[in-house]
Amino acid sequence: MTMMAELIEARTADRMAAAQSRIAHVEIITDIDAAEPVWRALEQTGQHSSPYQRFAFLSAWQRHVGSAEGRQPFIVVARDVERRPLLLLPLGLERKFGVRVAGFLGGKHATFNMPLWRRDFAANAGDADIAELIRRVRNIGGADLLAFEQQPARWNDLANPLARLSHQPSVNDCPVLVLPPGAALNDLISNSMRRRLKGKERKLQELSGYRYGQARTQADVDRLLEAFFRIKPVRMAAQNLPNVFAEPGVADFIRQACSTELSGGGHAIEIHALECDDEMIAMYAGVADGSRYSMMFNTYTLSDAARYSPGLILMRHIIDHYAGLGYRWIDLGIGSDDYKKIFCKDLEPIFDSFVPLTPRGQIAAAAMSAIGRGKRAVKQSPAMMQAVQRLRGMLPR
């Protein structure tokens, strides 16, 4: 086939895909505040998105972290023929491997990445819709590669339409606890585990002012985060891990998100904690959307109270709390830490897609795909993971 014939065939295929798709208009917005009206419209009850993609969460992240990293907003909005929004992709543009890569805003602080969808479109989006979205973003220009990493195969009750793109498993899966409607609490955490944790908690209950609670006021947020930012670096240093919370803008992002109240109640990041009069004993922070609570970060005391498994006790309180509210899922973030396996019996598949938009992007897509597969191979091999951990232990703190 001649080059001219190939070009004609490609253009014919593009026209056919466009005719079958409900996407009629696509724009790129490079000012995050300019995207706020359509963004918040797609957050409303009845639409389809994750709390990691809320405007309150990602605008705080971009302001404090993304801008410090040199990321530029690259927000894709697709509309139908009546110019009603169908989806919003909250992306940021950065340079990797010498090319312009558009990836989800939120970086390592967003456990899951996905667009914000109009629900009826998400439920029925087909190959032609996704192909037309990519074609139009390619034609607008500005990026060489779309890096859609750490996407859930499903979110709550709907499959992820972006799984129609070529994809591969992410580096890690996500442990998840399913909360069946009407399930007894003992079905979620076994009687034997509950007895063990209650026995440990009796020791903590001897402390003056011992309590479990959720941060409701600014004073609660400030008190708990002050303890977190004091304790967490010590915990990470003991594991020979870098203090990611000391990276530029991260602490300010967390403070803003934990302090931002949502219109439907709660905060962009929710904090749960065990406390007594003298100290914060344990805390977990994450995001919630009425159906799912997703963990982001945690820590526990440096005092003698750490002997009584306060993190596990707090996790039991959190599970009971959200089960009582009718939530359907709790996840503890991606990764295979032992404490996650105690509560989460299922693994949720997470996937990556690397979509080249230019010839230069094809090379970078191949490189990023190979790096991801290599990291996953290490994580899936106990022997390789032990070797990595031994090497980490030999490095200077």
Same domain as 228, residue 98: no
Whole-number pLDDT of residue 218: 97
Residues 232, 152 within the same domain: no
Share of the chain above pLDDT 70, in %: 91
Query: Is residue 155 domain-shared with residue 215, that is, in the same domain?
Result: no
Same domain membership, residue 145 and residue 78: yes
Q: Which tokens is 327 given?
A: 């939530």
Instruction: Tell me the residue range of the domain where 386 lies.
Output: 3-173+349-394
Residues 69 and 209 in one domain: no
Q: What is the CATH number of the domain that holds 112?
A: 3.40.630.30
Model pLDDT, residue 131:
97
Residues 217-239: tens digit of each pLDDT: 999 999 999 999 999 999 999 98
Contact 247, 303 (CB under 8 A): no
pLDDT the model gives residue 384: 56
Q: Please indicate, yes or no, whether residues 216 and 311 belong to a single structural domain of this protein.
A: yes
Of the chain, the percentage scoring pLDDT greater than 90 comes to 77
Is 80 exceeded by the pLDDT of residue 5? no
Number of structural domains the chain divides into? 2
Pick the closest to residue 58 from 10, 98, 20, 109 (CA basis).
Answer: 109
pLDDT of residue 3: 41
DSSP for 28-69, please give it.
EE--TTTTHHHHHHTTSTTSB--GGG-HHHHHHHIIIIITTT
Same domain, 56 and 102: yes
Model confidence band, residue 378 (pLDDT cutoffs 50, 70, 90) = confident
- Domain check: are 305 and 368 in the same one? no
pLDDT of residue 381: 62
> Quick one: CA torsion of 22, 138, 119, 253, rounded to 10 degrees?
-160
Of the listed ranges 89-93, 116-120, 170-174, the one predicted with least confidence: 170-174
- Assign 327 to helix, strand or coil: coil
Could you read off the pLDDT of 254-282 as tens digits, one per residue?
999 999 999 888 999 999 999 999 999 99
| pLDDT tens per residue, range 22-65 | 999 999 999 999 999 999 999 988 899 999 999 999 999 999 99
One domain for residues 19 and 162: yes
